[in-house]
Chains A and B, each alone.
Chain A
């Protein structure tokens, strides 16, 4: 029996103000394929992981998983326990779900205040905050104006030393130079790939994926894998989320 894969995608608009008009449905054709030589590996990340990253990385044709700095473990066939040999990428699927339905995800740094006067712009920004807070590198944060939440800057923490919090801002809202910031740790996972799964993401800004989110890349025509290709999964500062990674190859 061959290995099978199916993907169904559908978007439906219903426009609340247009009750006399049928909903508009936009659907991508269903994707399915079935092959004998497909292999897959599953990797699951959870916890806080403030100290070290979670990775999937190639070494030759082997994919090694490293969970929060632990020892590298090769992905294996769950039946034969043989090490899987990935020569080609066929798909990368990442979803982020709540780990325990009864426990809401949270950030280790819910909020902090800063009165540093800063212009809203996409750039590196240094906020003066209290010392010894829970900020860690690679945590995603948003600085919001207390007077008007529409004015904000969002990005990734690059460093936190003493009372200086430096953020690589990549997303902004509003304009102006303000000094009434509330800085909140965002509850999300982040991923970064340097070719793992056939995808290369931004080397500076990891892709944030929030609860219920997903990233999917499917390539029926295999992409040749190479050694040292790495998928990094960051949960820095976020608790209560599960990052589910499914990699398909041949």
Chain B
């Protein structure tokens, strides 16, 4: 059974004052990826310091810790990054959060962006079903410096097979 990744969105507008018309639904095409040689990692970040997911010599480090296959315990060998999802929520039992987390990619999934604010409830995601080789030091930085009360969930995935 291959590894699967799913992503779907739907937006429904009902435009106040248009009671005689049915709501309009916008739905971007759902994403369903199935990869036979996939790796994926999951991390939850809290605290008040920046957290980094970075490639180093083909392995993937989360906060400087090399990630392993949760079943085989072998170090994950990253050949391609196929996508990532960042979700920001309020930490359990936290009072009102302060500040706003940010996400900054440097080549991670081929995306390089300046820090983008992702507030509570926000999502930052990229899915690339056919991408190219990961860069040697691609990184994704979760900016938690200056914030309190957040939990940032990250899922990243890709393959262990280089592109041909």
A residues whose Cβ falls under 8 Å from a Cβ of B: 1-18, 21, 23-24, 26-29, 31, 33, 36, 38-40, 42, 77-80, 93, 95, 97, 142, 149-150, 152, 154, 170-173, 198-202, 205, 207-221, 223, 244, 246, 248
Q: Which residues between 100 and 131 of chain B lie within 8 Å of chain A, taking CB atoms?
A: 100, 107, 110-114, 116-131
B residues whose Cβ falls under 8 Å from a Cβ of A: 1-18, 21, 23-24, 26, 28-29, 31, 33, 36, 38-42, 69-72, 85, 87, 89, 100, 107, 110-114, 116-133, 135, 153, 155, 157, 162-164
Residues on the B chain within 8 Å of A200, using CB = 113-114, 116
Residues on the A chain within 8 Å of B110, using CB = 171, 207-208
B5:A12 contact, CB within 8 angstroms: yes
B31:A31 contact, CB within 8 angstroms: no
Residues on the B chain within 8 Å of A213, using CB = 31, 126-131
Given contacts A79-B15, A171-B133, A215-B126, contact A7 B9 (CB under 8 A): yes
B3:A3 contact, CB within 8 angstroms: no
Given contacts A12-B5, A171-B110, contact A216 B13 (CB under 8 A): no
Q: How far apart are the CA atoms of A211 and B118 in the complex, in Å?
A: 26
Closest Cβ of chain A: how far from B27's Cβ, in Å? 9
Which 3 pairs, one residue from A and one from B, show the smallest C-beta to C-beta distance?
A221-B119, A202-B112, A220-B121
B111:A5 contact, CB within 8 angstroms: no
Q: How far apart are the CA atoms of A244 and B9 in the complex, in Å?
A: 13
A13:B7 contact, CB within 8 angstroms: no
B4:A12 contact, CB within 8 angstroms: yes
Q: Which residue of B lies closest to A20 (CB)?
A: B71
Q: Which residue of A lies closest to B109 (CB)?
A: A207
Q: How far apart are the CA atoms of A175 and B104 in the complex, in Å?
A: 28
Residues on the B chain within 8 Å of A16, using CB = 1-2, 36
Q: How far apart are the CA atoms of A171 and B162 in the complex, in Å?
A: 13
Given contacts A95-B29, A205-B112, A214-B28, contact A26 B8 (CB under 8 A): no
A216:B15 contact, CB within 8 angstroms: no
- 4 further A-B pairs in the complex, CB-CB below 8 A; given A7-B123, A29-B153: A9-B155, A11-B6, A152-B133, A220-B119
Residues on the A chain within 8 Å of B4, using CB = 10-12, 14
Residues on the B chain within 8 Å of A93, using CB = 9, 28
Q: Which residue of A lies closest to B122 (CB)?
A: A219
Residues on the A chain within 8 Å of B126, using CB = 207, 213-216
Given contacts A80-B15, A210-B128, A248-B11, contact A12 B3 (CB under 8 A): yes
Q: Which residue of A lies closest to B114 (CB)?
A: A200
B10:A6 contact, CB within 8 angstroms: yes
Q: How far apart are the CA atoms of A63 and B89 in the complex, in Å?
A: 30
A173:B133 contact, CB within 8 angstroms: yes
Closest Cβ of chain A: how far from B59's Cβ, in Å? 17
B71:A18 contact, CB within 8 angstroms: yes
Q: How far apart are the CA atoms of A23 and B28 in the complex, in Å?
A: 28
Q: How far apart are the CA atoms of A184 and B35 in the complex, in Å?
A: 25
Residues on the A chain within 8 Å of B8, using CB = 7-8
Residues on the A chain within 8 Å of B12, using CB = 3-5
